[in-house]
């Protein structure tokens, strides 16, 4: 028996997942969610912030100063977790908190000018992450994917329901987080 060169070379290909798993849409959603999260975490690490910080800045950027409790509720964050995030953002000069003059038990939170600049930077980073991740898809496919994911999200996570009109299958305001 003759051994050919290809038989002696170690395989450098990526092992394939079982077909039954790859045939499952929920499996693919979970696996791609993990990959997207890992890539995002690496990218955000360069800013010294976390996607959770970005979400807080977005929530503040979309409206007037909010209470800590209202921000936590809007984002689905534990209130204690939010206080820690706000502490970190405040230390960096991105948000400021002050007592609510109408109710001294509450803190009002607002973006600082530096926070607004960082929010613009993080929005650009989020767009870049999304563009790189979705690069294999055409613009139409991206719109279709977003519309389908949004439909599922509205059913299974009602807080994802958009309050802004759709433009071409994607939200008119692009926060992309």
Cα 114 to Cα 138: distance, rounded to the nearest angstrom: 35
Q: What local confidence, expressed as pLDDT, does residue 14 receive? A: 84
Helix axes 113-133 and 51-61, enclosed angle (nearest 10)? 120
pLDDT of residue 13: 82
pTM: 0.78
Beta bridge partner(s), residue 171:
166
The CATH fold assigned to 38-158 is Arc Repressor Mutant, subunit A (1.10.10)
Task: Pull the structure tokens for residue 164.
Answer: 């802004």
Each domain of the chain, given as residue ranges in start order, spans 38-158
**Mean pLDDT in order along the chain per 10 residues (177 residues):** 52 84 95 96 95 96 82 91 96 94 88 97 97 97 96 89 58 46
């Amino acid at each position: 028996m003759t051994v050919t060169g290809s038989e002696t070379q170690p395989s450098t290909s990526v092992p394939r997942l079982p077909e039954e798993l790859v045939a499952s849409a929920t499996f693919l959603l979970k696996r791609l969610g993990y990959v997207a999260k890992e890539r995002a975490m690496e990218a955000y690490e360069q800013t010294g912030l976390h996607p959770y910080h970005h979400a807080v800045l977005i929530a503040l950027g979309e409206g007037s100063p909010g209470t800590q409790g209202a921000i936590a509720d809007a984002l689905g964050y534990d209130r204690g977790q939010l206080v820690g995030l706000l502490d970190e953002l405040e230390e960096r000069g991105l948000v400021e908190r002050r007592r609510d003059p109408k109710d001294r038990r509450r803190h009002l939170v607002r973006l600082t000018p530096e926070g607004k600049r960082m929010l613009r930077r993080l929005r650009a980073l989020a767009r870049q992450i999304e563009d790189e991740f979705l690069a294999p898809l055409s613009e139409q496919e991206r719109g279709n994917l977003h519309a389908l994911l949004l439909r599922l999200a509205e059913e299974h996570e009602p807080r994802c329901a958009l309050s802004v009109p759709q433009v071409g299958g994607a939200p008119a305001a692009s926060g992309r987080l």
